[in-house]
Structure 1
Amino acid sequence: MRIKMAMGIWLLGITLAWLAVAPLDPGVLPLVDPQGAAAGGWLLRRHVLYLSGLWSIGLMSLTMLLALRLPWLERPLGGMDQVYRLHKWAGVGAALTALLHWGAKESSGWIKALWGTVGRPGRDAVLPGLTGFRDAAKDLGEWAFYLLLAMVAIALLTRLLSYKPWRFLHRAMPLLFLALAFHTVALMPMDFWALPLGALVGALLALGSAAALWSLAGWVGRARRHAGRIHAVHVLGDGPQAPVEVICALPASWPGHRPGQFAFVRFHRGEGAHPFTIASAPGSLGTDERGEPLLRLVIKPLGDYTRSLGQRLRAGQQVDIEGPYGRFDGQGGHGRRQVWVAGGVGVTPFLSLLESRQPGAQPPRMRQQPAHMHYCTRDAAADPLLPRLHQLCEHARPPVTLTVHSDAQGQRLTPQALEAGMAGPLDIWFCGPQGLGDALHAHSGGLRSWRLHRESFAMR
Structure 2
Amino acid sequence: MRIRMALGIWLLGITLAWLAVAPFDPGVLPLVDPQGAASGGWRLRQHALYLSGLWSIGLMCLAMLLSLRLPWLERPLGGMDQVYRLHKWAGIGAAVTALLHWGAKESSGAIKALWGTAGRSGRDAVLPWLADFRGLAKDLGEWAFYLLLAMMALTLLTRLLSYRPWRLLHRAMPLLFLALAFHTVALMPLDFWSLPLGLLMGALLLLGSAAALWSLAGWIGRSRRHAGRIQSVRVLGDGSERAPVEVICALSSRWPGHRAGQFAFVRFDRSEGAHPFTIASAPGSLGTSEQGEPLLRLIIKPLGDYTRSLGQRLRAGQHVDIEGPYGRFDGQGGRGRRQVWVAGGAGVTPFLSLLEARQPGVEPSRSRALPAHLHYCTRDAADDPLLPRVRSLCERARPPVALTVHDDAQGQRLTPQALEAGAAGPLDIWFCGPRGLGDALHAHARGPRPWRLHRESFAMR
TM-score, normalised to structure 1's length? Answer: 0.99
Deviations 1:337-380 (A, max 9, x none): 00000001110000000011111111212111000000000111
Aligned twin of 2:180 = 180
Deviations 1:21-79 (A, max 9, x none): 00111211111112211000000000000000000000000000000000000000000
The alpha carbon displacement at 1:447 in A equals 3.6
| 2:39 paired with 1:16 | no
Aligned twin of 1:352 = 353
The alpha carbon displacement at 1:446 in A equals 2.1
Q: Report runs of 4+ in structure 1 exceeding 6 Å deviation.
A: none
Q: How does 1:66-77 map to 2 (within 5 A)?
A: 66-77=66-77
Structure 1 runs not aligned, ≥5 long = none
- Supply the AA of the counterpart residue of 1:39: S
Aligned counterparts of 2:142 and 2:449: Cα–Cα separation in 1: 46
The alpha carbon displacement at 1:128 in A equals 1.1
Q: How does 1:254-273 map to 2 (within 5 A)?
A: 254-273=255-274
Aligned twin of 1:433 = 434
Aligned counterparts of 2:132 and 2:448: Cα–Cα separation in 1: 59
The alpha carbon displacement at 1:409 in A equals 1.1
Aligned counterparts of 2:56 and 2:363: Cα–Cα separation in 1: 47
Aligned twin of 1:307 = 308
Secondary structure of 1:40's partner?
A: helix
Aligned twin of 1:25 = 25
Deviations 1:397-445 (A, max 9, x none): 1000000010111111000000000000000000011111111111112
Aligned twin of 1:98 = 98
- Supply the AA of the counterpart residue of 1:213: L
Per mean C-alpha deviation after superposition, the further-off stretch among 55-64 and 445-454 is 445-454
Q: How does 1:224-235 map to 2 (within 5 A)?
A: 224-235=224-235
- Supply the AA of the counterpart residue of 1:31: L
Aligned counterparts of 1:245 and 1:452: Cα–Cα separation in 2: 29
- Supply the AA of the counterpart residue of 1:166: W
- Supply the AA of the counterpart residue of 2:397: A
Q: How does 1:8-407 map to 2 (within 5 A)?
A: 8-238=8-238, 239-407=240-408
Structure 2 runs not aligned, ≥5 long = none
Deviations 1:302-331 (A, max 9, x none): 111100000000000000000000000001
Deviations 1:163-199 (A, max 9, x none): 1100010000000000000000000000000000000
Deviations 1:75-117 (A, max 9, x none): 0000000000000000000000000000000011110110011
Secondary structure of 2:321's partner?
A: strand
Aligned counterparts of 2:27 and 2:308: Cα–Cα separation in 1: 63
Secondary structure of 1:130's partner?
A: helix
Secondary structure of 2:220's partner?
A: coil
- Supply the AA of the counterpart residue of 1:162: S
Aligned counterparts of 2:241 and 2:308: Cα–Cα separation in 1: 7
Identity %: 85
Secondary structure of 1:441's partner?
A: helix
| 2:434 paired with 1:443 | no
- Supply the AA of the counterpart residue of 1:167: R
- Supply the AA of the counterpart residue of 1:364: S
Aligned counterparts of 1:17 and 1:273: Cα–Cα separation in 2: 38
- Supply the AA of the counterpart residue of 1:206: L
- Supply the AA of the counterpart residue of 1:375: Y
Change (3 A) 1:448 1:212: farther
Aligned counterparts of 1:17 and 1:42: Cα–Cα separation in 2: 22
Aligned counterparts of 1:359 and 1:237: Cα–Cα separation in 2: 26
Aligned twin of 2:6 = 6
Secondary structure of 2:377's partner?
A: strand
Aligned counterparts of 2:448 and 2:75: Cα–Cα separation in 1: 25
The alpha carbon displacement at 1:296 in A equals 0.3
- Supply the AA of the counterpart residue of 1:445: R
The alpha carbon displacement at 1:448 in A equals 5.1
Secondary structure of 2:328's partner?
A: coil
Q: How many residues get paired?
A: 460
Aligned counterparts of 2:414 and 2:26: Cα–Cα separation in 1: 57
TM-score, normalised to structure 2's length? Answer: 0.99
- Supply the AA of the counterpart residue of 1:171: R
Alignment RMSD (CA, Å):
0.6
Per mean C-alpha deviation after superposition, the further-off stretch among 260-269 and 360-369 is 360-369
Aligned counterparts of 1:377 and 1:54: Cα–Cα separation in 2: 47
- Supply the AA of the counterpart residue of 2:133: F
Secondary structure of 1:64's partner?
A: helix
Secondary structure of 1:207's partner?
A: helix
Aligned counterparts of 2:129 and 2:345: Cα–Cα separation in 1: 60
- Supply the AA of the counterpart residue of 1:85: R
Secondary structure of 1:320's partner?
A: strand
Aligned counterparts of 2:36 and 2:361: Cα–Cα separation in 1: 83
Deviations 1:282-307 (A, max 9, x none): 00000110010100000000111100
Secondary structure of 1:33's partner?
A: coil
